[in-house]
């Protein structure tokens, strides 16, 4: 099957370099399909690609024999299986991107860095934060630190990097703050490797180098520990990760760990608790550890919007990993409705509500600061339940 001039592919898989060469030649006979979730597609995708749900492709994709189709998922496993199914039906014009979107990210990261003067590129990224995105990032970062009293004199903060856009931006903001802050504090950039694939580990290392960050890595086997857990593996993984982060930070003599949860994480958590957990709760800007003495968790990105982080990433042509979890490496490619992320459903719900009410996001955030306890049937405070009925006569 001839895909483009001088490019002949006989295998079911096509590698990134060959596909990008085809795209560069503006091959109109090529259809590139992203079968990951809508959320992943919105946060990063191949050029000229379209998003089609996995089920829609299997049940209703009309094949044009005059076109070639390349499908890709996160790692290339699900897309290869899909391409084989179409091949078995006689559609020899179906291909899978070798290594999936992860392979594309790593290719772009390495080649983009080679084609640019890295020190100058680092300065350009820093400059974009200082100038172009100042009001969206630095102003809100400082406001959260001041409003929620997050940093004190002589603090030693472990800035936790997961490898995604949020944590890397947080690291850059701490890097900026250290330059001119009147408060003396120390930061250490740390990254826990819970069992990353080689691709994910390399991607994090490459990005840290590009952004001028010296990161301390430490290894755990969390992914292997929760791999066969059937009930709530994500909850267990999150608890274990938090514990390891606290423990390593304490070894470094830090008294705080900083996580990169942002404004959208906060309001989504509120709705998720109500709709899926049957409770009203929020994500607080700081927490004292219950298991590690004199340790605190802070969230200095509390007021920063995710859409602005995405704009910063795209403005600087940055490529970050989106989900490094072994459990979701394949299921993040949506295969059925049960695999869909609850957080993605909430994101879509808020997006739809925003069409009719532009203030819906701000109102959700305001609601957790304006709780009318006297109107509730019951509430818990420090583990003690207060019932409206029981306290009515009092």
CB atoms closer than 10 angstroms to residue 39: 18
CB atoms closer than 10 angstroms to residue 168: 27
Which tokens sit at 260?
């990169």
**Range among 24-38, 115-129, 300-314 with highest mean pLDDT value:** 300-314
Q: What is the DSSP string of 109-134?
A: HHHHHHTS-HHHHHHHHHHIIIIITI
Bigger pLDDT: 90 or 331?
Answer: 90
Q: Is the pLDDT of residue 83 over 50?
A: yes
Q: Is the pLDDT of residue 32 over 60?
A: yes
CA–CA distance from 205 to each of 105, 186, 248, 315 (Å)? Answer: 13, 22, 19, 21
Q: What is the mean pLDDT of residues 138-145?
A: 97
Q: Is the pLDDT of residue 99 over 80?
A: yes
Helix (H) or strand (E) holding 329: helix 328-331
Cβ distance 35 to 83 under 8 Å? no
Give me the pLDDT at residue 135, please: 95
Question: What sign has the CA pseudo-torsion 103, 193, 126, 314?
Answer: positive
Give me the pLDDT at residue 66, please: 85
CA–CA distance, 141 with 217 (Å, rounded to integer): 25
CA–CA distance, 4 with 364 (Å, rounded to integer): 51
């Amino acid at each position: 099957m001839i895909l483009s001039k001088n490019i002949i592919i006989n295998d079911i898989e096509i590698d990134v370099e060959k596909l990008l060469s085809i795209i560069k030649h503006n091959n109109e006979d090529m259809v590139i399909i992203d079968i990951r979730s809508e959320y992943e597609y919105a946060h990063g995708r191949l050029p000229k690609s379209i998003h089609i749900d996995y089920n829609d492709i299997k049940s209703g994709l009309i094949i044009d024999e005059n076109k070639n189709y390349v499908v890709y998922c996160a790692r290339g496993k699900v897309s290869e299986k899909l391409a084989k199914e179409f091949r078995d039906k006689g559609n020899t014009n179906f291909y899978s991107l070798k290594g999936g979107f992860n392979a594309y990210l790593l290719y772009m990261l390495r080649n983009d860095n080679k084609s640019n003067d890295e020190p100058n590129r680092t300065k350009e990224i820093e400059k974009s934060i200082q100038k172009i995105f100042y009001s969206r990032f630095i102003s809100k970062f400082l406001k959260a630190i001041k409003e929620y009293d997050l940093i004190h004199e002589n603090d030693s903060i472990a800035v936790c990097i997961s490898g995604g856009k949020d944590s890397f931006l947080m690291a850059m903001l701490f890097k900026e703050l250290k330059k001119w802050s009147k408060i003396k504090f120390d930061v250490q950039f740390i990254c826990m490797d819970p069992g990353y694939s080689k691709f994910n580990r390399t991607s994090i290392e490459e990005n840290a180098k590009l952004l001028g960050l010296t990161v301390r890595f430490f290894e755990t086997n969390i992914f292997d520990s929760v791999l066969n857990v059937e009930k709530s593996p994500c909850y267990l993984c999150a608890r274990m990760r938090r514990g390891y982060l606290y423990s390593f930070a304490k070894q470094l003599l830090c008294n705080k760990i900083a996580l990169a949860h942002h404004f959208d994480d906060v309001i989504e958590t509120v709705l998720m608790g109500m709709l899926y957990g049957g409770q009203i709760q929020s994500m607080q800007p700081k927490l004292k550890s219950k298991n590690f003495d004199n340790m605190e968790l802070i969230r200095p990105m509390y007021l920063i919007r995710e859409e602005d982080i995405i704009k910063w990433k795209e403005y600087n042509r940055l490529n970050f990993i989106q989900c490094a979890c072994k459990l979701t490496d394949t299921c993040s490619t949506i295969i059925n409705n049960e695999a869909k992320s609850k957080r993605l459903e909430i994101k879509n719900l808020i997006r739809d509500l925003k069409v009719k009410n532009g203030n819906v996001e701000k109102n959700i955030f305001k609601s957790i600061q304006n709780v009318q306890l006297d109107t509730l049937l019951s509430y818990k405070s420090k583990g003690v339940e207060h019932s409206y009925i029981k306290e009515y006569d009092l």
